[in-house]
Amino acid sequence: MSMEFNKILAALLCAGIIAMLAGFVSHKLYHPHHLEKDAYEIAASEGGGGGPAAVEQTEPEPIDVAGADLAKGEKLAKVCASCHSFDNGGPDKVGPNLFGVVGGVHAHRPDYAYSDAMKAEHGKKWDYDALNKFLWSPKKGVPGTKMGFAGIKKPEDRAAVIKWLETQK
């Protein structure tokens, strides 16, 4: 290859890269809303919510605890175990001990430092519906909660975790 040809090639490459960058930047500048929406929809469908309708979702899908997979629930609960213990008399960790929490009241551990949001729910029971919503999205289930957990998107996974949690009593 001659020097001249190399120079032309380099120039073309440069131009191509600049054109790509410019396109990317202008896309970001002029279509920020578009980008955000696309990203959101991808996240929603990856989460198993399924398509654009999931973007508007404010309530979780109903769950079938009786028909859920107990062994799967036990496996999934390992994620919770980084913050929670489940056994009778187990310690409060980052989150409260969860022994007997299914069917118990919100903020069921007297000595744990709950968020004000969780304390305010103290009269309410952790029934399947309340757990379904909280485990789907802690922030939507109990707005202001300090449980730093994204949530479990698949209804059958939430059902499985709740079924297993219910055996811890």
Is residue 160 part of the contact set for ligand HEC (CB under 6 A)? Answer: no
Measured from the Cβ of residue 121, the count of other Cβ atoms closer than 10 Å reads 20
Query: Least distance from C-beta 81 to ligand HEC, angstroms?
Result: 8
Query: Least distance from C-beta 144 to ligand HEC, angstroms?
Result: 7
Are 134 and 142 spatial neighbours (Cβ–Cβ below 8 Å)?
Answer: yes
In a 3-state reduction of DSSP, which class is residue 51?
A: coil
Residue 61 sits at φ, ψ, to 5 deg, of: -65, 150
Is residue 146 part of the contact set for ligand HEC (CB under 6 A)? Answer: yes
- What distance, in Å, lies between the first and last C-alpha atoms of the chain? 78
Which is closer to ligand HEC, CB of 54 or CB of 83?
Answer: 83
Query: Least distance from C-beta 149 to ligand HEC, angstroms?
Result: 4
The binder of ligand HEC chosen from 67, 148, 167, 169 (CB under 6 A) = 148
Applying the rule CB under 6 A, the residues between 30 and 49 that interact with ligand HEC are: none
DSSP letter for each residue of 114-153: --HHHHHTTTSB--HHHHHHHHH-HHHHSTT---------
Token reading at 160: 């499985």
Query: Least distance from C-beta 43 to ligand HEC, angstroms?
Result: 19
The binder of ligand HEC chosen from 9, 11, 14, 94 (CB under 6 A) = 94
Is residue 109 part of the contact set for ligand HEC (CB under 6 A)? Answer: yes
Query: Least distance from C-beta 13 to ligand HEC, angstroms?
Result: 47
